[in-house]
Structure 1
Amino acid sequence: MELEENLIEIISLSGEVKKKFLKAVKHAKNNEPEEAEDVFNEADDQLIKAHLKQTELINKEAGGEKLESSLLLTHAQDHLMTAILLKDMAKEFMDLYQRLEE
């Protein structure tokens, strides 16, 4: 059950992170750079938590504990990878909007 709880936490955190990165881009688009940066940093902190959960699972498997592959595991990985990609894209968009305002 612990595995499922960790996976659900990764999914939940990653979903919130994606929403916040998109919110940061909207703030940047509306010429609100301070708000954009605040929301971006908040999302990044949550992303670190999700990534640490993933690292915990990887370390368990590397230590010999067998983790069963499942649709939930795949879903969690997908959400986390998408959130990481969105972080990079959000930062690029924020930088572009900042340049447009200069």
Structure 2
Amino acid sequence: MEETEGFEVVMGLIMHSGNAKSLGMEAVQAAKNGDFKAAGQKLEEANEEIVQAHHAQTGLLTQEASGETFKVTLLMIHAQDHLMNTITFLDLAKELIDVHKILNQSE
């Protein structure tokens, strides 16, 4: 893998993960305001971003599995960390939205 191609893949991981996390936060805020339809839409958009991030990650894994080596950089580690944290955050966001639904019903 050329260095510029690797950089683009890593930046794609960071970008799509960041977009997904932001959308997840928007979903929680929408639920906090009682707009559960918007919350669901934001979570769907976040999922689309995670899928894009996973495609980038899968490409890297496939290349490595086929014997193509590339330099592991701090930026690549950061990108993987960003993706994992975003996935964890989205799981928590879904739970928070459910809590807001319950609280909204009891009012």
TM-score bracket relative to the smaller structure: over 0.9
Output aligned runs, 1:1-102, within 5 Å: 1-102=4-105
Instruction: Count the aligned residue pairs.
Output: 102
Identity %: 38
Distance 2:70 2:93 in 1: 33
**Could you report, residue by residue, the CA deviation over 1:18-76 in whole angstroms, capped at 9, with x for unpaired residues?**
11101100000110000000011011111111011101101110110112110110111
Task: Report the residue type matching 2:45 in the other structure.
Answer: E
TM-score (norm 1): 0.97
Task: Report the residue type matching 1:99 in the other structure.
Answer: I
Q: Which has the larger radius of gyration?
A: 2
The ranges of structure 1 where at least 4 consecutive aligned residues each deviate by more than 2 angstroms after the TM superposition are none
Distance 2:63 2:75 in 1: 17
Determine helix, strand or coil for the equivalent of 1:68: coil
Distance 2:35 2:25 in 1: 14
Unaligned runs of 5+ in 1: none
Distance 1:23 1:2 in 2: 31
Unaligned runs of 5+ in 2: none
TM-score (norm 2): 0.92
